[in-house]
Amino acid sequence: MMSVRAVIVDPDTPGGMRLGEVPDPRPLPHQALVDVHHVSVNHGDLRTGVRPAGTVLGCDASGVVAEAAADGTGPAAGTRVVAFTVGAWAGRLAVDTGALAEAPPSVDLADVAALPLAGLTALRTLRAGGLLLDRRVLITGASGGVGRMAVQLAALGGARVIASVGAKARGEGLGELGAHQVVVGLDGVGEPVDLILDTVGGPQLVEAWGLLAPGGQLQSIGWASGEPAVFPPYSTFALGPARTLRSFGDAADVGADLATLVRLLAEGKITAGVGWRGPWDRAAEAAQALSERRVTGKAVLDVAIRR
């Protein structure tokens, strides 16, 4: 049986991951075969301890279609694409054509690989928040991959963007991406906000809840703190239009939104925010740097194709 290289879970290695071999993918009729050139790292990929040994990590990838889907859907062989799929850190993938988007020659495939999870999360949670024009939008963990993407997209939507970071140094460059105000923690937010995208969780989520204006919405889209959120008694009660706390996990039918993100990147309206890049045999190093908050934005791995 033929095999491809992949980054897999290995609890006996530093970082809990290593390069290994997995069976060559066998596509279903609605899937295209993609030769992967780059993948990107997300915080969810760091949770190797909750996955069985041998599991292929990752969900973000870019590359070139090696074989078009048998049912005639999706891009043709030779097309540059971005993919969002479980187990993306492999040299070759079988991907549903609905989870692919074409990438024009004008964009770097390494940048494109940074888009899927962070971009889809930011795009879809902002869309769920409704009209953004002139509304006050608070984004916590704004220096991370999701946060930086959300700052840019919210600013494009006409919002008054408040970017919250964990330390002053991590706020550098956020003004250029569209933030009107950069704060450390929630100090200095001042007036109530209409929409919050929270990637931190824990006590900061509770504090952020208290900043919502009547009718405001808090989208819980991450939990980087790893700490519980304990709401004081009666803190969820307020007169006036209801405030809401919403979860997020919508990963269905992503093709059109991936295409939107690629188009915005190609037009120069957003940047991918790659803060770390290296070969995929350094995946554990990239994961550690991300975990220790030493990366601003996204970490991207370059895949060495060997068949």
What pLDDT does residue 305 have?
A: 64
pLDDT on residue 307: 45
Residue 256 lies in a domain: no
Give a yes or no: residue 201 inside a domain: yes
Q: What is the pLDDT of residue 176?
A: 97
Q: Is the pLDDT of residue 57 over 60?
A: yes
Q: Are residues 126 and 231 in the same domain?
A: yes
Cβ-contact 94, 81 below 8 angstroms: no
What are φ and ψ of residue 48, in 5° steps?
-70, -25
Both structure tokens of 279: 């070969």
Q: Is residue 258 part of a domain?
A: no
Shortest CA distance to 54 belongs to which of 16, 18, 8, 100?
8
- Shared domain check, 184 and 155: yes
Do 144 and 230 share a domain, yes or no? yes
Helices 255-266 & 116-128 angle (0-180, nearest 10) = 100
Enter the pTM of the model.
0.94
Task: Please give the Cα distance from 278 to 245 (Å, whole number).
Answer: 38
Return the CATH number at 194: 3.40.50.720
- Specify the residue for token string 């187990």: 87
Length of the chain equals 307
Q: What is the DSSP letter of 198?
A: E
170 and 130 in a common domain: yes
Residues 127 and 237 in one domain: yes
| Pair 137, 243 in one domain | yes
Q: Are 92 and 12 within one domain? A: yes
pLDDT tens string 220-265: 999 989 899 999 999 999 889 999 999 988 889 999 999 999 999 9
Q: What is the mean pLDDT of residues 261-274?
A: 97
Shared domain for 140 and 219, answered yes or no, is: yes
Parent domain of 142: 118-247
The number of distinct structural domains making up the chain is: 2
The average confidence (pLDDT) of the chain is 95
Q: What is the pLDDT of residues 135-169, one digit of tens each?
A: 999 999 999 999 999 999 999 999 999 999 999 99
Residue 285 has pLDDT above 60, yes or no: yes
Average pLDDT value for residue range 197-223: 96
191 touches 167 (CB < 8 A): no
pLDDT of residue 106: 96
Q: Say what the pLDDT of residue 254 is.
A: 97
Task: Let me know whether 7 and 26 are in one domain.
Answer: yes
In degrees, rounded to 5, the angle at the alpha carbon of residue 128 between the alpha carbons of residues 125 and 129 is 90
122 and 241 assigned to the same domain: yes
One domain, residues 147 and 129: yes
Could you tell me if residue 263 is inside a domain? no
Residue 151 forms part of a structural domain? yes
Sequence letter at residue 56 = V
Domain assignment present for 261: no
Domain membership of residue 265 (yes or no) is: no
Residue 305, CA atoms < 13 Å, CB-side half-sphere = 11
Residue 55's domain is classified under what CATH number? 3.90.180.10
At residue 53 the predicted structure's pLDDT band, cuts being 50, 70 and 90, is very high
Residue 12 pLDDT: 92
Does the pLDDT of residue 303 top 50, yes or no? yes
Whether residue 128 has pLDDT greater than 80: yes
* pLDDT level of residue 126 (50, 70, 90 thresholds): very high
Chain mean position to CA 79: 23
136 & 98 share domain: no
Whether residue 259 lies inside any domain: the answer is no
What is the structure's pLDDT at 306? 52
